[in-house]
Amino acid sequence: MAKGERPPALDELERRLSEARASMDAKARGRSGLPGEQGGYGFAVRLSIELVSTLAVGVFIGWALDRWLGTTPWLLVMCFFLGAAAGALSVYRLTRSMAGDQDDVTRNGTAK
């Protein structure tokens, strides 16, 4: 970059920057999921947290509804199984997203 001749130098820089960005974007497409959580251990931790927290939320909802409606313990039992199902479902979605279909990976994985 020549001093004093800023505009052309900046144009040049801009061009090189956009080239570099394009190649980085292309590289990023090749990866899947949340980068860094792909390591086996990180993924396992993530799956277990997902499973346990979903189940815990289910149980808590059941317990709270039971207290409110006075139906102990039936809603707790029901919500336990619903929570377990929801946990299994989110784990299933996460693993399916790990297995493949690129673009929707993170989207299908964690949400919906």
Smallest distance from other proteins to CB 57, Å: 4
Residue 77, C-beta contacts closer than 8 angstroms, at least 6 positions apart: 62
* Per-residue exposure over 69-78, b if at least 16 CB sit within 10 Å of its own CB, e if not: eeeeeebbeb
Q: In terms of C-beta distances under 8 Å and separation of at least 24 residues, what long-range contacts does 76-80 make, across chains too? A: 80/55
Each residue 70-89 as x (binds other proteins by CB under 8 A) or -, in order, gives ---------x--xx-xxx-x
- C-alpha Rg value of the chain to the nearest Å: 24
Q: Does 99 bind other proteins (CB under 8 A)?
A: no
Residue 29, C-beta contacts closer than 8 angstroms, at least 6 positions apart: 102
Is 61 or 98 the residue whose CB approaches other proteins more closely? 61
Residues 13-52 within binding reach of other proteins (CB under 8 A)? 34, 36-37, 42, 45-46, 49-50, 52
Q: Does 90 bind other proteins (CB under 8 A)?
A: yes
Q: What residues make contact with other proteins under the rule CB under 8 A?
A: 6, 34, 36-37, 42, 45-46, 49-50, 52-54, 56-58, 61, 79, 82-83, 85-87, 89-90, 106-107, 110-112
